[in-house]
Chains A and B, each alone.
Chain A
Amino acid sequence: MAEPSDETLVARYVKGDRSVLRVLIDRHKHDMLRFLTRLTGDRDAAEDAFQETFLQFHLSARKFDTTRRFKPWIFTIAANKARDALRKKGRRPALGLSAPVGGSGGGAPIEFVDLMEIAGPSPESGLQERELQDMVAKAMDSLSYTLREVLLLAYFQRLSYAQIAEDLDIPLGTVKSRLHSAVASFAKAYQELLAGHKAESEQQTSGGTKQ
């Protein structure tokens, strides 16, 4: 028999079936904790946010619109709780500017990023899955909280701009400019890490040849 969907389980929870809570948590626990750890860059804050997320689920389950998907809903709650958890730990999420800034008169010039020019991982790159994950994690960690948040909600959760704007309570234009900035910053950081890895590999290869 097919497993009941998340949305069905939420409906049962609202009707008083408390046993489904563990099932729902079990289904999403690892993804949720990884998502929160990526977002906060802090395991303790991620665990705090994890607990707060499901407590918020308990409080808001009645309001859940069962025509919507459960996973994006709960992960958006998680994103908000992650921000609260960082604040609680005294680490204010960086106040990212909503659009690129800089100065042609004395400041650094604007750097343009074209994703097409950034090579993705290929078999020739020799990257193991673990190394790749580390690299993505490092590139994510180099972003400010506000950029990481919008990047994960769009790229990982696949939420529309309108949903992100509603959930984060920011204007649609801010979502758009913040996401552009997040993608560009992530791509640039990732490109630099890839280049560093490549240089290191070449150095090791040439070092090995000399020996």
Chain B
Amino acid sequence: MTVQPGGARLCQQAEEALDALIDSGWNLEQVTKEHRPCAEKLLHLLDSACTLEDRKDRSKLESLIKSIMDRIPTEPVLVDDSADALDVWSQSGYQTNSVPRSLREQAEAHENFARLISMSVSQGDIQASDRLIDDTIQGIMDYAEASQPRDFGFKLRIRMTDLASLAALLLIAVSVSMPLLSTMRYESMRRHNESNFAAASVAFGTYATDHEDRLPVYTPSGELANKAMGQNLHWWMVGIDPNQSNSANLYTLTRLGYTPLHTLASPGNKHAVSEPTSKDAVDWDSFEQVSYSFRVERPDTPKSLWASRGRVVLTDRSPVTLKAYQRLPIDPYENSPNHDGRGQHALHGDGSVEWLTTPWLDRRDHVFLPDFVERLINPDVKRSGMIPLQGKERPGSTVDAFVGP
């Protein structure tokens, strides 16, 4: 924003941002990335100054902005030569000798100030204590240990002379070992998932500490959204629209560095990815890549209500939404595909992880279905059938467990 003789007016950038805000119906999320920073500042200025009704009148709006701007203290500005020298000095890699002669003296003045500031950082009294260093390293080691998948591998030490008898033994053993290997594989997968849930638990806790006790919500800048997801959004738009996709909310943990992506990849999901597909990734690329299902929030959920036992935050992949999304009949008795259908983990809001052998929690709450669908199921009749999930359902209450996608 700048000021012209005869009164305040918006600079071109601010005018464009204002137009974009008006066009979007004052919804910052709908404003293009290019105009969003400026639009955010305009909104900040106006939020406490006028009602939405006042904003409809463009001339009223500009007059309001002018009166606000008139009251803002002036910041000093660099004279043109000094500003130009700063730009050129930076472009030259901060090499004063490379700055054209006409601006070199100004660049030297910048160099002097930069040296002054660098000296104050490099030679100040402040020292990092041993305690701080030890705490830092211990924190990293604890985190690394919590994120480490447990290793169930073992090493065979075999001499060449043993090979012949080993071959004979293997022929006999293979028939009896198949169920054993299957159990070992299943146990290994279960332990690996358990480690992932432990890492997720730490990540949720850290995120909540940093973000007003809230669960992760996707917003481009990482800032908290004003509200939880809107009622009519499709939470299963994985890889299509991060503003709707519930997995983009979960992916926020990785995007903002709270946990690496591989801790959100289940060994039981052959489509899972361990590394982001691009540095700008904000969600998994496809529905099939998602390994864990995240709590679907009601728009009116107060913060930190999730942080107690019984409030399920994360589970192994929901078989219900996977099939509903693929337009396949769903079976409400089916367990997560992450464990060959033998059960699923559920991470509670208090950080504890529970192993469920059926999709029902102990209070007869189906972890993968919202209340109103549960009521349609007769628990005494075991049958499969199509339940018309549309990816827009919400939990029946703040207590109702419901995860997706």
Binding site for B on A (CB under 8 A): 18, 21-22, 25-26, 29-35, 37-38, 43, 47, 50-51, 54-56, 58-60, 63, 84, 87-88, 95, 97-116, 118, 120-121, 129, 132-133, 136-137, 140, 151-152, 154-156, 158, 160-161, 169-171, 173-174, 176, 179-181, 183-188, 190
> Which B residues from 125 to 167 make CB contacts under 8 A with A?
125-128, 132-133, 135-137, 139-141, 143-144
Given A30-B126, A105-B70: A59 and B257 interface contact (C-beta under 8 Å): yes
Bound complex: CA of A115 vs CA of B110, how far in Å?
A: 7
25 contacts between A and B (CB under 8 A): A21-B140, A30-B127, A34-B120, A34-B126, A50-B128, A50-B132, A51-B136, A60-B257, A84-B210, A100-B76, A103-B66, A104-B7, A104-B8, A108-B73, A112-B76, A115-B78, A115-B113, A129-B123, A133-B125, A158-B114, A161-B87, A181-B77, A184-B77, A184-B78, A185-B75
**Interface residue from B77, B114, B221 paired with A112 (Cβ < 8 Å):** B77
Residue among A18, A113, A118, A174 with max Cβ neighbours from chain B (10 Å): A113
Q: Is the CB of B123 within 8 A of A181?
A: no
Given contacts A18-B141, A137-B124, A180-B83, 10 further A-B contacts (CB under 8 A): A34-B120, A56-B257, A98-B38, A107-B69, A115-B113, A129-B123, A133-B125, A179-B86, A181-B77, A183-B86
Contact A34 B75 (CB under 8 A): no
B residues apposed to A, CB below 8 Å: 1-8, 11, 13, 34, 37-38, 40-41, 44, 66, 69-79, 81-83, 86-87, 90-91, 93-94, 105-106, 109-110, 112-114, 116-128, 132-133, 135-137, 139-141, 143-144, 209-210, 221, 257, 259-260, 279
Complex Cα distance A107/B2, Å? 12
Pick from A51, A59, A60, A173: contact of B135, CB below 8 A. Answer: A51
- Residue from A55, A116, A170 within 8 A of B109 (CB atoms): A116
Residues on B with C-beta less than 8 A from A155 are 110, 113-114, 117-118
**A101 CB contact (under 8 Å) in B2, B110, B135, B141:** B2
Determine how close the nearest CB of chain B comes to the CB of A65; give it in whole angstroms.
11
Chain B interface secondary structure, helix, strand, loop or mixed? helix
- A50 B123 Cβ-Cβ under 8 A: no
Q: Which residues of A contact B109 (CB under 8 A)?
A: 115-116, 118, 120
Task: Select which of B37, B77, B144 is within 8 A of A111 by beta carbon.
Answer: B77
